[in-house]
Amino acid sequence: MILTLTLNPSVDISYPLDQFNLDTVNRVSQTSKTAGGKGLNVTRVLSEFGEDVIASGFLGGALGQYIEEQIETTRIKQAFFKIKGETRNCIAILHEGQQTEILEKGPTIELKESEEFKSHLLKLFKETDVAVMSGSLPKGLNTDYYTDIVRLAKEQGILTILDSSGQSLEEVLISNVKPTVIKPNIDELSHLLKYKVTSDIKELKTAVSQPIFNDIEWIIVSLGSEGAFAKHNHKFYKVNIPNIKVVNPVGSGDSTVAGIASALIHQQTDEELLKKANAFGMLNAMEQQTGHINTDKFDEIFKQIEVIEV
């Protein structure tokens, strides 16, 4: 089973407007409200591909209940931990080809809740083979909270994929427990290394060979329309992808993570893993909806992807 963790989920609201007027009333006729958060995007894509997936994280209040009800209508299993705080809204105003976002910070997790969640996870870990951790940490959790989760998962022999950024990722990298896979994009990689990395192969090789990445089995750097670059133990790979008609690339990284999880659980080869990861990312970019892929197009896209050892 694949377990996905979304520790700070949201109800994502989108307001499409022909024109966005400041300092006055804007009326919207079409709104969409969906269960959001990077981990839930990963979950949706895995489920669309037919994987057995269970979603967990923290939920609270009326919006938490809304997310649960939304998931209830799908074939996704869920085991969220209920908190006193209120799950957040994230608003995207789509106007004149632009996207203005208003993101609530979300609830503060109490110390007791953060400890109880670890016991909750230990129960879920009994049937977990691959655990995916995505996104930022909510307020109240220590910045090394992912480190604790990775440690607990590894003790149970579970493979872990960590897709976060900033301090929560750095804390794990400097700790003595390492996730199986990390998937920074090039900006996140540059941020981690504190210098600007380009998509030049030689530079990427140097970048992912820095001591901060020691003992991480897979470092997969996603490069948007340029595909990806990866290091698996001592091997380096470049993934070349064909041109596609991009509709909305938001959530492509999350879909890539879903592809990695799917390949790991089926013990696929390096080449298959990298092709699947990129195919999922591309299929997401070809759709309007964030965290959604058209699986009918999978085979056609998959066979056009090239993985070369470099």
| Residue 241 in the binding site for ligand ADP (CB under 6 A) | yes
Q: Which two tokens stand for residue 146?
A: 């992912």
Residue 56: its H or E element: strand 53-59
Rule CB under 6 A: which of 267-296 touch ligand ADP? 278, 281-282, 285
| Residue 225 in the binding site for ligand ADP (CB under 6 A) | yes
Rule CB under 6 A: which of 120-139 touch ligand ADP? none
Calpha distance 228→37 (Å, rounded):
23
Among 190, 260, 200, smallest CA distance to 236 is for 200
| Residue 54 in the binding site for ligand ADP (CB under 6 A) | no
- Near ligand ADP by CB under 6 A: residue from 13, 120, 217, 224: 224
Among 80, 146, 136, 139, smallest CA distance to 111 is for 139
Residue 262: its H or E element: helix 252-265
# binding residues, ligand ADP (CB under 6 A): 18
**Closest CB to ligand ADP among residues 78, 278:** 278
**Closest CB to ligand ADP among residues 68, 289:** 289
Calpha distance 103→237 (Å, rounded):
36
Residue of 12, 148, 163, 254 marked catalytic: 254
Applying CB under 6 A, the span of 13-21, 67-75, 150-158, 241-249 interacting with ligand ADP comes to: 241-249
**Closest CB to ligand ADP among residues 128, 134:** 134
| Residue 140 in the binding site for ligand ADP (CB under 6 A) | no
| Residue 40 in the binding site for ligand ADP (CB under 6 A) | no
| Residue 302 in the binding site for ligand ADP (CB under 6 A) | no
Give residue for tokens 């080869």.
269
Distance (Å) of CA 287 to CA 31, 206, 297: 18, 34, 11
Q: Phi/psi of residue 77, each to 5°?
A: -85, 150
Known active-site residue 254 = yes
Calpha distance 233→184 (Å, rounded):
17
- Residues forming contacts to ligand ADP in the complex (CB under 6 A) are 185, 222-225, 227-228, 241, 244, 246, 249, 252-253, 256, 278, 281-282, 285
List, by residue number, the catalytic residues: 254
